[in-house]
């Protein structure tokens, strides 16, 4: 790995020095370059398509799994299929994410299709960060798909962040929840220039006491455009809460399209959406503390996306 | 010393401040009182730079600050506690206290400040300054953000407004201790007898003018005779 690779990995993961704690698989420019497995976590290369299968043994306690992707080759269109099989009552933290460095004129694209199959009582924290950099005119495009299948008593908490440098993204997240499951999603997006970001959430609450909480916080600046679509379907006694909160600046645009479908009288579904510029009273308060207008605006955005 | 010279402020053909001139001496605890619509809030907003006067000048320690922005005045040592504390998304009490103090303070220093305003610090320091906090809690945090700045000149715009009687009864103790918390000059808009009682000076405003100004001894009796002052700590304004 060269300096650019290491920098990209630091941007998208919690990498310590040049290595990771626990099992990991690093993919660069469309191929795996480093891998480590542990007693509880096995990583196997797929035979039919590009990608890996990750197997976590049942009752695994508090292990980290890192599967970062980096792209430094301009013009590459990388599609990867990663499947995670999490055994009963296992408890792991999975850190994914993609960093693109593009110094040239051709577009670089990564589409990561991640499927999670959690057995009974399994618990996963999934952290995904997307980042782009480089001086080229070629676009940096990321289209992640996340599909989550939760069996009875399983929980998946997903944190998705895209703060800088991604020109176009369509991120699709789907959840299929059985009895007593919980799917929590927190998404943070900031777009600049002419960037475009679209988010699609689709969660089916199929089992009794299944619950989901989706929180999206986004900031659209300059001429960027964001679209947030969410569809939560309650098919039994369940709870769903979707919150979309967006700040717009300059000529930024945000479109929020909520859809909640209750197919059962005991389904309890809530959607909240708010879009607006930074509140004048917030700016004023911070200015009375000695921040100038620009610093106040930055402090408000930093807090909002924290 | 802060000086207001011939301040006029008119909106929608209504004279909100009508040729107001005022001197406030250094290290004094000054209370402005008077009926609703008498121009009190506008006057303190003009001192902070939140509103600009149509005519007149504002001087701090002899320097004309009339054209300075809010943040420039803050840097010169003016602090302002809002009547309605502002709520944020994602900004915690600790974040806000760090921004207020203008330097890196550690959590233990932040907790010390919160304790001074009567909040059990550990429970609050990591909470977001949002609608999950009660009106009384937000008021205390607002006071803490102002107290941590050690400003030369600190303004409180009607701290009793918008909180219930019980919250105010405990909050009023903080204002009684205000001299220990806030250094320098304090200018506070209030109708509360207990706050008027600790004033060095009282300013009574009416119809955009200063009707009288004097020591607590001279003016407290006059003010209490009028039905603008609440003895029990509610924010009712009968003016």
Can you give the pTM of this predicted structure?
0.86
Helix, strand, or coil here: A148? Answer: strand
Pairing label, strands A77-86, A108-118: parallel
Return the pLDDT at B232: 46
**Cβ within 8 Å of A, B 66-85:** 69-71, 74-75, 79-80, 82, 84
Q: Find, among A246, A279, B151, B140, the residue nearest to B127 by Cα.
A: B140
The answer to whether residue B56 sits within a structural domain is yes
Contact A306 B90 (CB under 8 A): yes
Q: What is the dihedral of CA B57, B58, B60, B63, to 10 degrees?
A: -30
Q: Do A288 and B79 touch (CB under 8 A)?
A: yes
Which residues from B are below 8 Å from A282, CB to CB?
86, 88
Determine the structural domain holding residue B155 and report its residue range. Answer: 2-225
Q: Give the count of domains, chain B.
A: 1
Half-sphere exposure of A50 (CA within 13 A, CB side): 15
Question: What number is the ipTM of this complex?
Answer: 0.91
Question: Contact, B100 vs B121, CB < 8 A?
Answer: no
Q: Cβ A288–B70 below 8 Å, yes or no? A: yes
Query: What is the enclosing helix (H) or strand (E) of A300?
Result: helix A293-304
CB spacing of A282 vs B86 below 8 angstroms = yes
Please report, in tens digits, the pLDDT of each residue of chain A (306 residues total).
Answer: 888 999 899 989 988 788 898 999 999 999 999 999 999 999 999 999 999 999 999 999 999 999 999 999 989 999 999 999 999 999 999 999 899 998 888 998 989 999 999 999 999 999 999 999 988 888 999 999 999 999 999 999 999 999 888 999 999 999 999 999 999 999 999 999 999 999 999 999 999 999 999 999 999 999 999 999 999 999 999 999 999 999 999 999 999 998 999 999 999 999 999 999 999 999 999 999 999 999 999 999 999 998
> Three-state DSSP class for A11?
helix
Interchain CB distance below 8 Å, B88 and A303:
yes
CATH number, domain at B145? 3.40.50.300
Asked if B88 reaches chain A (Cβ–Cβ under 8 Å), the answer is: yes
CB of A207 closer than 8 Å to CB of A234: no
Per DSSP, chain B holds a count of helices (H) and strands (E) of: 10, 10
pLDDT in tens, B175-184: 777 666 667 8
Nearest Cα to Cα of residue A111 among A119, A100, A101, A122: A100
Q: Which residue of A has its CA nearest to B146?
A: A289
DSSP single-letter state for residue B128: B
Q: Element (H or E) spanning A302, and its range?
A: helix A293-304
DSSP H helices, chain B, are 40-48, 70-75, 93-101, 107-116, 121-124, 135-147, 165-176, 178-181, 193-196, 216-225
8 Å CB contact between A125 and A65:
no
CA-based nearest residue to B214, from B226, B224, B223, B225: B223
CB contact under 8 A, A286 and B99: yes
What residues in B contact A215, CB-CB < 8 Å? none
The tens digit of pLDDT for each residue in B187-213 reads: 999 988 888 888 999 999 999 999 999
Interface residue of B46, B69, B77, B90 to substitute, partner A, most A CBs within 10 Å: B90
Specify the pLDDT at position B179.
66
> Any residues with CB less than 8 A from the CB of B114 and at least 6 apart, and which?
B93, B97, B120, B121, B124, B125, B140, B141, B144
Please name the residue of chain B whose CA is at the shortest distance from the CA of residue A304.
B90
Would B233 be classed as within a structural domain? no
B70 to A299: CB separation less than 8 angstroms, yes or no:
no
How far apart are the C-alpha atoms of B134 and B124, rounded to whole Å? 12
- Domain membership of residue B236 (yes or no) is no
User: Is B71–A290 a contact, with Cβ atoms under 8 angstroms apart?
Assistant: yes
């Amino acid at each position: 790995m060269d300096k650019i690779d290491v920098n990209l990995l630091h941007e998208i993961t919690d990498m310590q020095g040049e290595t990771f704690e626990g099992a990991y698989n690093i993919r660069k420019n469309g191929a795996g370059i480093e891998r480590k497995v542990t007693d509880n976590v096995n990583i196997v290369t797929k035979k039919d398509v590009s990608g890996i299968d990750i197997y976590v043994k049942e009752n695994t306690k508090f292990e980290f799994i890192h599967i970062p992707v980096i792209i430094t080759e301009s013009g590459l269109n990388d599609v990867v299929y990663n499947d995670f099989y999490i055994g009963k009552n296992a408890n792991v933290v999975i850190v994914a994410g993609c960093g693109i460095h593009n110094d040239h004129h051709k577009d670089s694209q990564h589409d990561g299709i991640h499927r999670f199959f959690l057995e009974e009582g399994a618990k996963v924290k999934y952290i995904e960060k997307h980042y782009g950099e480089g001086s080229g005119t070629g676009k940096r495009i990321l289209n992640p798909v996340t599909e989550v299948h939760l069996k009875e008593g399983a929980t998946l908490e997903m944190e998705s962040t895209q703060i800088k440098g991604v020109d176009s993204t369509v991120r699709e997240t789907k959840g299929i929840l059985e009895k007593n499951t919980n799917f929590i999603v927190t998404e943070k997006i900031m777009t600049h220039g002419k960037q475009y970001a679209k988010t699609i959430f689709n969660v089916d609450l199929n089992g009794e006491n299944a619950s989901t909480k989706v929180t999206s916080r986004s900031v659209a600046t300059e001429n960027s455009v964001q679209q947030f679509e969410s569809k939560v379907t309650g098919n039994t006694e369940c709870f769903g809460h979707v919150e979309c909160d967006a700040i717009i600046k300059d000529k930024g645009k945000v479109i929020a399209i909520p859809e909640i479908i209750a197919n059962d009288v005991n389904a309890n579904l809530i959607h909240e959406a708010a879009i607006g510029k930074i509140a004048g009273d917030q700016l004023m308060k911070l200015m009375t503390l000695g921040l100038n207008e620009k610093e106040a605006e930055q402090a408000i955005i930093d807090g909002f996306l924290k | 010393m802060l000086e207001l010279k011939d301040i006029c402020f008119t909106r929608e053909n209504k004279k909100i401040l009508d040729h107001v001139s005022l001197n406030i001496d250094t290290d004094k605890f000054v209370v402005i009182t008077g009926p609703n619509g008498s121009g009190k809030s506008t006057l303190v907003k003009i001192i902070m730079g939140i509103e600009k006067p149509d005519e007149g000048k504002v001087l701090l320690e002899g320097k004309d600050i009339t054209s300075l922005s809010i943040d420039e005045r803050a840097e010169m040592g003016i602090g302002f506690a809002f009547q309605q504390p502002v709520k944020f998304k994602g900004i915690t009490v600790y974040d806000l206290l760090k921004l207020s103090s203008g330097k890196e303070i550690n959590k233990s220093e932040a907790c010390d400040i919160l304790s001074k305003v009567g909040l059990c610090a550990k429970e609050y320091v990591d909470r977001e300054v949002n609608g999950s906090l009660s009106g009384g809690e937000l008021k205390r945090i607002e006071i803490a953000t102002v107290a941590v700045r050690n400003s030369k000149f600190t303004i409180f715009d009607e701290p009793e407004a918008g909180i219930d009687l019980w919250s105010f009864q405990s909050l009023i103790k903080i204002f009684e201790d205000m001299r220990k918390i806030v250094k320098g000059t304090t200018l506070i808009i209030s109708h509360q007898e207990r706050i008027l009682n600790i004033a060095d000076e009282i300013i009574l405003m009416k119809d955009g003018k200063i009707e009288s100004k004097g020591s607590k001894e001279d003016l407290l009796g006059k003010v209490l005779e009028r039905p603008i002052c609440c003895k029990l700590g509610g924010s009712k304004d009968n003016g």
